[in-house]
Amino acid sequence: MESDVTDSFLKIGLINVMEPINILAILAGTMIGMFVGAMPGLSATMAIALLLPLTFQFEPATGLAMLASLYLSAMYGGSIAAILLRTPGTPAAAATVIDGYPMAQAGHAGKALGYSLTASLIGGVISSIVLLTVAPLLGKLVLNFGPIEIFAIAVLGITIIGSLSQGSAVLGLLSGALGLLIAMIGMDPTTGTPRYTFGNLNLFSGVEFTVALIGLFSIPQAIRLMIGGNADQAGRISNVRDRMLPTARQFIEMLPNSIRSAVIGVFTGLIPGTGGDTASWFAYNEAKRFSRNKAAFGTGHAPGIVAPEAANNAVVGGALIPTISLGIPGSSATAVLMGGLMVHGILPGPTLMTEYGDVTYTLLWAVLFANIALFVVGMLFTRACVSVTKIPNRVVGPVIVVLSIIGAYAINNSVFEIWLMLGFGLLGFVLDQCKIPTPPLVIGLILGPVLDTSLEQSLLIGRGDYMIFLQSPISAVLLGIAFLSVLQATPLPGLIAGLFRRMRGSVEAGNDNG
Amino acid sequence: MRKLVTTAAVALLMSGGLAAPVSAQGYTASDDITVLMGFKAGGGSDALAQLVQPFLAEELGVSFVNRYMPGATGAIAWTQLAKQVKPDGKTISITNTPMLMTNYIMNDTISYNITELTPLANIVTDPGIAVVAADSPYQTFADLMAAATADPGGVTVGNSGIGGDDFFTTVAFERAADVKFQKVPFQGDGPSWTAAMGGQIDASFNNVGITYPQIKAGNLRALVVFSNERLKELPDVPTAKELGYDVAAGSSRGYSAPAGFPAEARQQLVDGLRRVTENPEFQAAAAAQAMNIDFIGGDDYTKFLQDQEKVFTDVWNEVKADVQSN
What was the ipTM of the complex prediction?
0.80
Superfamily of domain B127-249: Periplasmic binding protein-like II (3.40.190.10)
pLDDT of residue A119: 95
Is A54 in contact with B11 (Cβ distance < 8 A)?
yes
For residue range B134-169, list pLDDT tens digits in order. Answer: 999 999 999 999 999 999 989 999 998 888 889 999
CA pair distance B192, B159, nearest whole angstrom: 6
Closest partner residue to B70 (CB to CB) among A52, A412, A457 is A412
Whether B190 contacts chain A with CB within 8 A: yes
Is A146 in contact with B198 (Cβ distance < 8 A)?
yes
Cβ proximity of B94 and B122 under 8 Å: no
Residues facing residue B182 across a β-bridge: B156
Closest partner residue to B72 (CB to CB) among A144, A204, A350 is A204
Closest partner residue to B163 (CB to CB) among A192, A205, A349 is A192
CA pair distance A342, B216, nearest whole angstrom: 16
B185 contacts in chain A (CB < 8 Å): 189-190, 457
CA pair distance A289, A310, nearest whole angstrom: 17
- Max CA pair span of chain A: 72
Classify the C-alpha dihedral A452-A457-A463-A467 as positive or negative: negative
B190 contacts in chain A (CB < 8 Å): 272, 328-329, 335
CA pair distance A89, A83, nearest whole angstrom: 10
Closest partner residue to B72 (CB to CB) among A201, A349, A410 is A201
- CA distances for A285 relative to A30, A113, A166, A257, B24, angstroms: 29, 20, 12, 11, 60
Whether residue A50 is predicted with pLDDT greater than 80 in this model: the reply is no
For residue range B81-134, list pLDDT tens digits in order. Answer: 999 899 999 999 999 988 999 999 988 888 899 999 999 999 999 999 999 999
Lowest average pLDDT, out of A71-80, A216-225, A230-239, goes to A230-239
Helix (H, G, I), strand (E, B) or coil at B34: strand
Tell me the percentage of chain B whose pLDDT exceeds 70.
Answer: 92
pLDDT mean over A172-201: 89
pLDDT of residue A374: 93
pLDDT of residue A431: 92
Lowest average pLDDT, out of A337-346, B192-201, B313-322, goes to A337-346
pLDDT of residue B182: 93
pLDDT band at A229; cut points 50, 70, 90:
low
Closest partner residue to A49 (CB to CB) among B40, B195, B197 is B40
Nearest 5°: the CA angle A472, A477, A482 is: 125
Is A205 in contact with B41 (Cβ distance < 8 A)?
no
Q: How far is A79 from chain B (nearest CA, A)?
A: 21
Q: Calculate the CA B222 to chain-centre distance.
A: 20
For the ranges A300-309, A376-385, A483-492, the one whose mean pLDDT is highest: A300-309
For residue range A250-308, list pLDDT tens digits in order. Answer: 999 999 999 999 999 999 988 877 778 889 999 999 998 888 888 888 889 999 999 99
For residue range A423-461, list pLDDT tens digits in order. Answer: 999 999 999 899 888 889 988 998 998 899 999 999 999
Tell me the percentage of chain A whose pLDDT exceeds 90.
Answer: 34
Residues facing residue A61 across a β-bridge: none
* DSSP letter assigned to residue B235: T
Interface test with A, best of B170, B289, B322 (most A CBs within 10 A): B289
Q: How far is A245 from chain B (nearest CA, A)?
A: 33
pLDDT of residue A167: 63
pLDDT of residue A241: 62
If 0-12 CB within 10 Å is exposed, 13-18 middle and 19+ buried, where does residue B135 land?
exposed
- Domain B2-125+251-315, CATH among 3.40.190.150, 3.30.2310.20, 1.20.120.640, 1.10.357.10: 3.40.190.150
B212 contacts in chain A (CB < 8 Å): 347
Whether residue A175 is predicted with pLDDT greater than 80 in this model: the reply is yes
**Strand (E) or helix (H) holding A187:** strand A186-187
pLDDT mean over B272-276: 95
B window 101-160, beta carbon within 8 A of A: 106-107, 109-110, 153-154, 156
A336 contacts in chain B (CB < 8 Å): 41-42
Closest partner residue to A48 (CB to CB) among B42, B153, B290 is B42
DSSP A401-436: HHHHHHHHHHHHT-HHHHHHHHHHHHHHHHHHHTT-
Is A193 in contact with B324 (Cβ distance < 8 A)?
yes
pLDDT of residue B195: 92
Q: How far is A434 from chain B (nearest CA, A)?
A: 33
Higher-scoring residue by pLDDT: A285, A353: A285
Question: Which residues fall within 8 angstroms of residue A23, CB to CB, at 6 or more apart?
Answer: A17, A369
CA pair distance A351, A163, nearest whole angstrom: 44
A345 contacts in chain B (CB < 8 Å): 288-289
Which regions of chain B does DSSP assign to beta strands (E)? 32-37, 63-68, 91-97, 117-133, 156-159, 182-185, 203-207, 220-225, 250-258, 293-297
Checking DSSP bridges between strand B117-133 and strand B293-297, what pairing results, if any?
antiparallel
Lowest average pLDDT, out of A160-164, A292-296, B181-185, goes to A160-164
Closest partner residue to B15 (CB to CB) among A56, A192, A345 is A56
pLDDT band at B305; cut points 50, 70, 90:
very high
Is A50 in contact with B212 (Cβ distance < 8 A)?
no
CA pair distance A167, B249, nearest whole angstrom: 57
Q: Phi/psi zone of residue A157: left (φ > 0), alpha (ψ -120 to 50 degrees), beta?
A: alpha
pLDDT of residue A129: 92
Is B216 in contact with A453 (Cβ distance < 8 A)?
no
pLDDT mean over A227-238: 60
Lowest average pLDDT, out of A273-287, A332-346, B300-314, goes to A332-346
Closest partner residue to A53 (CB to CB) among B8, B106, B214 is B8
Instruction: Give which of A311, A307, A277 is closest to A450, Cα–Cα.
Output: A277
For residue range B10-64, list pLDDT tens digits in order. Answer: 444 444 434 444 444 588 888 899 999 988 777 778 888 988 999 999 999 999 9
pLDDT mean over A312-340: 83
pLDDT mean over A325-346: 77
B window 39-58, beta carbon within 8 A of A: 40-43, 46-47, 50
pLDDT band at A348; cut points 50, 70, 90:
confident
For residue range A382-395, list pLDDT tens digits in order. Answer: 878 877 777 888 88
Mean pLDDT of chain A: 85
Higher-scoring residue by pLDDT: A372, A160: A372
Q: How many CB atoms lie within 10 A of CB A228?
A: 14
B75 contacts in chain A (CB < 8 Å): 201, 204
Using CA coordinates, name the residue in chain B closest to A203.
B72
Whether residue A357 is predicted with pLDDT greater than 90 in this model: the reply is no
CA pair distance A481, B74, nearest whole angstrom: 40
Cβ proximity of A143 and B190 under 8 Å: no
Is B12 in contact with A329 (Cβ distance < 8 A)?
no
Interface test with A, best of B2, B63, B76, B216 (most A CBs within 10 A): B76
Q: How far is A327 from chain B (nearest CA, A)?
A: 8
Whether residue A496 is predicted with pLDDT greater than 50 in this model: the reply is yes
Domain-wise residue ranges, chain B: 2-125+251-315, 127-249
Closest partner residue to B68 (CB to CB) among A147, A202, A413 is A413
pLDDT of residue A99: 93
Whether B321 contacts chain A with CB within 8 A: no
For residue range A67-125, list pLDDT tens digits in order. Answer: 989 988 988 898 998 998 888 888 889 999 999 999 988 888 889 999 999 999 999 99
pLDDT of residue A507: 47
Interface test with B, best of A32, A54, A195, A471 (most B CBs within 10 A): A54
Is A272 in contact with B197 (Cβ distance < 8 A)?
no
pLDDT of residue B12: 43
pLDDT of residue B146: 94
Is B11 in contact with A53 (Cβ distance < 8 A)?
yes
pLDDT of residue A237: 60
Burial readout A195-210 (b: 16 or more C-beta within 10 A, e: otherwise): eebeeebbbbbbbbbb
Q: Helix A2-17 to helix A357-386 angle, to the nearest 10 degrees?
A: 40
Whether residue A232 is predicted with pLDDT greater than 70 in this model: the reply is no
- CA distances for A393 relative to A99, A224, A227, A235, A446, angstroms: 20, 9, 9, 13, 31
pLDDT of residue A400: 87
